[in-house]
Structure 1
Amino acid sequence: MAASTDEAKENADSLFNEIQRKVTEAFDIFDHESNKTVDEREIGTIVRSLGCCPTEGELQDMLHEIEEEENTGYIRFERFLPLMTKVLMERRYKPVPEDIMLKAFQVLDAESKGYLTKEELEKYMTEEGEPFTQDELEEMLSSAIDPDKGTILYKDYVSELTVEEQ
């Protein structure tokens, strides 16, 4: 019994160390001054590069948790690492599975056409839920619209959006 307990602890330590290594590598990419700080506007990109998909509200909550008392506009590595390690260990903010995303598009496609028009998607993405900014919308549409048909063939698009579990 003791051997399996030791093995489980070794596996947990190994996972913890691997997560901390990945967080450090991701942070360092955006630490342009090599001073263990990044612009707070980069945190969303760093978090998403680590396979997490928080909403903008959840991202703001994370920022509030790690920003300095006197907001400098920068986030220090020593504050980011423990939070991000905990987020990854708890497997928070996991991406939505492909089948769930497909069902969401099917709900929007009330006529079961198998596609949405650009206008339909623009309306849903700017007027419902957590609205997209114009830049976010343009970025989404640039990859979502089928150039031949001028519509969003959502079954194909969902495949592009999904992230494989690591």
Structure 2
Amino acid sequence: IHKEQDRGGLAIIADIQKKITDAFEVFDHECNKTVDVREIGTIIRSLGCCPSEGELHDMLAEVEEEEPTGYIRLEKFLPMMTKIKNQKELVKYMTEEGEPFTQEEMEEMLSAAVDPETNTVRYRDYITMMVVDEN
């Protein structure tokens, strides 16, 4: 993996997460990092994703607490949304710039980047893992 490409990929992830957080905060009326579950569809659409009702239902099932509270927490929403946006943007980026990646390589990278316990991408570990020392 070229370092240039790599840096671009990470910038994309940071950028995506900022966009998602900003969109989320618009609906976070209590400013407590939670939004009403009914707002989630609007947030997702405002981020340029157009899930069908079924897909939306699945997405909500993924981010809802074990005990549904009617609220979705940013820490649950962000990784899920990042993954979705990421796959779109990263795939676009990786397949249009430089040496194209195959879908399998993309999935491998994404699964390697996501921490299974928190289901989030840890930049520092990811950067360390991605930047191949050339010496």
* TM-score normalised by L of structure 1: 0.52
Q: How far is 1:63 from its partner?
A: 0.2
- Equivalent residue, structure 2, for 1:50: 47
Q: Secondary structure at the match of 1:33?
A: coil
Runs of 4+ in 1 over 2 A off after TM superposition: none
Could you tell me which of 63, 79, 90 is aligned with 2:76? 79
Alignment pair present for 1:5 and 2:2:
yes
Partner Cα distance (1:8, 1:68) in 2: 36
Q: How far is 1:37 from its partner?
A: 0.1
Could you tell me which of 33, 36, 43 is aligned with 1:36? 33
Q: How far is 1:62 from its partner?
A: 0.1
Following superposition of structure 1 onto structure 2, how do residues 124-163 of structure 1 map, counting pairs within 5 Å? none
Percent identity for Structure 1 against Structure 2: 60
In the alignment of these two chains, the number of paired residues is 89
* TM-score normalised by L of structure 2: 0.64
Structure 1 residues without counterparts, runs of 5 or longer: 93-166
Q: How far is 1:38 from its partner?
A: 0.1
Letter in 1 for 2:29: H
Partner Cα distance (1:47, 1:26) in 2: 8
Partner Cα distance (2:14, 2:25) in 1: 16
Asked which structure has the greater CA Rg, the reply is 1
Q: Which has the higher contact order (CA 8 A, sep 6+)?
A: 2
Deviations for 1:29-83, whole angstroms, at most 9, x for unmatched residues? 0000000000000000000000000001100000000000000000000000000
- Equivalent residue, structure 2, for 1:154: none
Structure 2 residues without counterparts, runs of 5 or longer: 90-135
- Equivalent residue, structure 1, for 2:11: 14
Deviations for 1:84-126, whole angstroms, at most 9, x for unmatched residues? 000001129xxxxxxxxxxxxxxxxxxxxxxxxxxxxxxxxxx
RMSD: 1.3
